[in-house]
Structure 1
Amino acid sequence: MNYLVVGSGLFGAVFAHELAEHGNNVKIIEKRDHIAGNIYTKVVDGIQVHQYGAHIFHTSNKEVWDYVHQFANFNRFTNSPIANYKGKMYNLPFNMNTFSEMWGVKTPQEAMAKINEQRQEMAGKKPQNLEEQAISLIGRDIYEKLIKGYTEKQWGRKATELPAFIIKRLPVRLVYDNNYFNDDYQGIPIGGYTKMIENMLDHPNIEIELNTDFFDKKDEYLKSYEKVVYTGMIDKFFDYKLGELEYRSLKFETEEKDVNNYQGNAVINYTDAETPYTRVIEHKHFEFGKSDYKDKTIVTREYPADWKRGDEPYYPINNYRNNQLYKEYKKLAEKENDKVIFGGRLGQYKYYNMDQVIAAARKSVQIVLRKNNEKN
């Protein structure tokens, strides 16, 4: 069959690779001037720069971990971000290092006693918003210094205006361990994510066309291809006929500095409300042996932003109103099921980690291939 895949990000690339491996002809169209979507990396002065924010691959799904190793070898990068609150540095995630820095406690028993003491503020009350939910889980000190400002910048709303369900749990580790993820496997592709996607799409059955917007010839594409895999915004596909879903966008400010080492860590979060950006990324620290590479380093400041049409949508805002509206769009999508497959975080209006994107794409393509075999 002839397939059109709209978007060359991780979902589209995995889908295209699997289709091609099963003998199908696939054309990928990409509106940007490069492949790999938001995991695109670019070499600048010998440093792999994450152009659309930091991406650390992590998973406990061994099948997915083995799958990506077809296309790249991974380094053993461990995500250990730091929080900067008004010049005071705290380790993340919340662990004994954090509690020792915050309160001067030394033992797990002392840390837990302090947390329980502060959680009493919400004793007997049902959290009505994100602020109350966070305090009920971790207490006011951690909330005020490490959650409140960062979250309000990220969402563009006061924590008291955000629903409690956004924070279902907050991991508390009563050990001195700064490894952010609990997953069995984590790392970053050696040579960058772009190289990984290039290897995924290096197939005689795959054709790639860059700088091409699906919506410039939407009707023609839908007529010309037997199946379309669409990874863009689901509401835009339907011309926003039921209303606009909400997204958060990001702005990036990247600069090269004439120093070996600017901040000493790959990611530092700025958790106070006054600092306009949420985090600073120093790209060379994602790769071993690059910390003292030349007298150059590249840093990126990440600014959350309100989204409007024409901006790049990064995160779905999965509150009640948007989730209900998405359900209505999903019903429209199901009517298109014989022709169009909707996938990825924009096509399915859902925040995905990279391993979840891969698993979802592989599951979706298996369903499509099985239906095709049944027809034949």
Structure 2
Amino acid sequence: MKYDYLIVGAGLFGSVFAHEAQKKGKKCLVIDRRSHLGGNVYCEEIEGINVHKYGAHIFHTNDKEIWDYVNSFVAFNRYTNSPMANYRDQLYNLPFNMNTFYQLWKVKTPAEARAFINKQVQQEGIKNPKNLEEQALSLVGRDIYEKLIKGYTEKQWGRKATELPAFIIKRLPLRFTFDNNYFNDKYQGIPIGGYNKLINALLEGVETRLEVDFFQDKTALMSMADKLVFTGKIDEFYDYRYGKLEYRSLDFKHQTLNMENYQGNAVVNYTDAEIPYTRILEHKHFEFGTQKKTVITKEYPTEWSGNKEPYYPINDKRNNEMYIKYRDLSLQDDIIFGGRLAEYKYYDMHQVIASALAKSKKIFNAQ
């Protein structure tokens, strides 16, 4: 055998696993069907700006070990995610906090804000929410729901809120402080110079081959290594034996604009139903850029089909039960499945890295 591990997918899971395997003296080959490394965290440099080609990737975690791990490859900046919401040309701060409540109702104290929300929740009188709309109304009342949740959520899922299950929003965090920091996590930032620096450092010294479709030459590729690490769709690996798992997808429209500053913030959500995209990203603000031009990206949620990228697993009862069948099947094989698609989970980046580290530690510590 030429390689100890064939790793399918050069995203975060595959790159971290390859790095850890190489540290243990293992010979790895990483393949990816795309023309670049990094999976969905890949950045393309345009006008000196690192453009997040597959949507905003903001690293955040409470796990100091994971934070120290990524910072050992590249220094992270102090970017703090503080998105804005645009509802019919009115701007609101996110997440829902005292700034938002002042913008909605001109209330200035937490007590006034609580009273407003409680009154609206009581007016709805919903005891047992049957769908997402009822769940949201029972948590935050009509104003926040109508202006900041309904349109955005319906665009995101391509379904009416009354047709979506209540469990999608188990809770809606309300902050009674003037705090626009979206994430509660202790550590947050963006790699200085973009995510490619992180991926390239992880894969330094590892053999990689791009534009290689695993399924076009599966048998030959698998014969090249003792072990397989697979980070693609688990249902595709098993030839859709139990059916196709479902996802939501996204279309991205990138524009280079001849101006220094388009919207003054990295992320602005568009929460009314009339505007087809869910948000506009302005990438230079992730790294406090001062370039003469700017690059923006509009995100359009779409139905997923076989020729689109799968982004968000639809973790409803039917899909989860189907995934469990695939997972049980995978446990019978001596193959390592990892990452968002192989584990059918909506992972944040730190969770993907934690999963790859846990799996590699279990394997290499046992040897």
Q: TM-score range by the shorter chain?
A: over 0.9
* 2:81 aligned partner: 79
User: Residue 197 of structure 1 aligns with which residue?
Assistant: 199
Instruction: Name the CA distance, whole Å, in 2 between partners of 1:364 and 1:122.
Output: 47
In structure 2, distance between residues paired with 1:364 and 1:152: 36
Which of the numbers 120, 137, 149 marks the counterpart of 1:135? 137
Can you list the C-alpha shifts for 1:169-188, whole angstroms capped at 9, x where unaligned? Answer: 11110011100010001000
| Cα deviation, residue 48, structure 1 | 1.0
Structure 1 partner of 2:310: 313
1:228-279: CA deviation from partner (whole Å, max 9, x where unpaired):
1100011111111100110011101011111111111100000011100000
Question: Does 2:315 align with 1:359?
Answer: no
- Give 2:299's aligned residue: 302
TM-score normalized by structure 2?
0.98
Q: Residue 119 of structure 2 corresponds to which residue in structure 1?
A: 117
CA distance in 1, matches of 2:117, 2:126: 16
Cα displacement string for residues 72-97 of structure 1 (whole angstroms, at most 9, x for unaligned residues): 10110010000000111000000000
What is the deviation of 1:140?
Answer: 1.1
The answer to whether structure 1 residue 293 and structure 2 residue 288 are counterparts is no
* Contact 1:129 1:163 (8 Å CA) reproduced: yes
For 1:52-201, what aligned pairs fall within 5 Å after superposition?
Answer: 52-123=54-125, 125-201=127-203
Using the alignment, how far apart are the partners of 2:35 and 2:163 within structure 1? 38
Counterpart of 1:283, as a letter, is: H
Kindly provide the amino acid, as one letter, of the partner of residue 310 in structure 2. P
1:332 aligns with 2:329: yes
Which residue number in structure 2 is paired with residue 43 of structure 1?
Answer: 45
SS of the residue corresponding to residue 150 of structure 1 reads helix
Letter in 1 for 2:296: V
Distance 1:232 1:42 in 2: 22
Tell me which residue corresponds to 1:3.
Answer: 5
- Residue 126 of structure 2 contacts residue 134 of structure 2 at CA under 8 Å; is this kept in 1? no
Q: Which segments of 5 or more consecutive residues in structure 2 lack a partner in the other structure?
A: none
Shift in CA distance, 124/255, structure 1 to aligned 2, threshold 3 Å: closer
Q: C-alpha deviations, 1:327-361, integer Å up to 9, x for none? A: 1111111111x2x1111010000000111111111
CA distance in 2, matches of 1:25, 1:310: 33
Q: Give the deviation of 1:226 after TM superposition.
A: 1.2
Q: Is the deviation greater in 178-187 or in 41-50?
A: 41-50
CA distance in 2, matches of 1:2, 1:30: 17
Unaligned runs of 5+ residues in structure 1 are: none
Structure 1's 75 and 325: CA in aligned 2 closer, same or farther, altered over 3 A? same
Contact kept, 8 Å, 1:8 with 1:28, in 2: the verdict is: yes
Q: How big is the shift at 1:119? A: 1.1
Q: Does structure 1 residue 31 correspond to structure 2 residue 29?
A: no
The aligned length equals 365
TM-score (norm 1): 0.95
How far apart, in 2, do the equivalents of 1:134 and 1:230 lie? 38
Cα distance between partner residues in 1 of 2:84 and 2:56: 14
1:197-346 equivalence runs, <5 A: 197-203=199-205, 206-288=206-288, 290=289, 292-294=290-292, 296-336=293-333, 338=334, 340-346=335-341
Note closer, same or farther for the CA distance 1:78–1:136 as it changes in structure 2 (3 Å cut): same
Tell me, yes or no, if structure 1 residue 349 matches structure 2 residue 347.
no
Q: Distance in 1 between matches of 2:328 and 2:356?
A: 20
Is the 1:222–1:228 contact (alpha carbons within 8 Å) kept by the matching residues of 2? yes
Contact 1:39–1:193, Cα closer than 8 Å, also in 2? yes
What is the alpha-carbon distance in structure 1 between the residues aligned to residue 5 and residue 159 of structure 2? 41
Q: Distance in 2 between matches of 1:127 and 1:194?
A: 44
CA RMSD of aligned residues (A): 1.0
Q: Residue 121 of structure 1 contacts residue 136 of structure 1 at CA under 8 Å; is this kept in 2? A: no
Task: Using the TM superposition, give the Cα deviation of residue 124 of structure 1 relative to its aligned residue in structure 2, in angstroms.
Answer: 5.7
Code of the aligned partner of 1:250? L
CA contact (8 A) 2:247 2:314 kept: yes
Which 10-residue stretch deviates more, 305-314 or 92-101? Answer: 305-314
1:221 positional shift: 2.3
2-side partners of 1:282 and 1:47: how far apart?
Answer: 10
Preserved CA contact (<8 Å) 2:126 2:138 = no
Q: Displacement, 1:222?
A: 2.6
* Distance of 1:214 and 1:282 partners within structure 2: 34
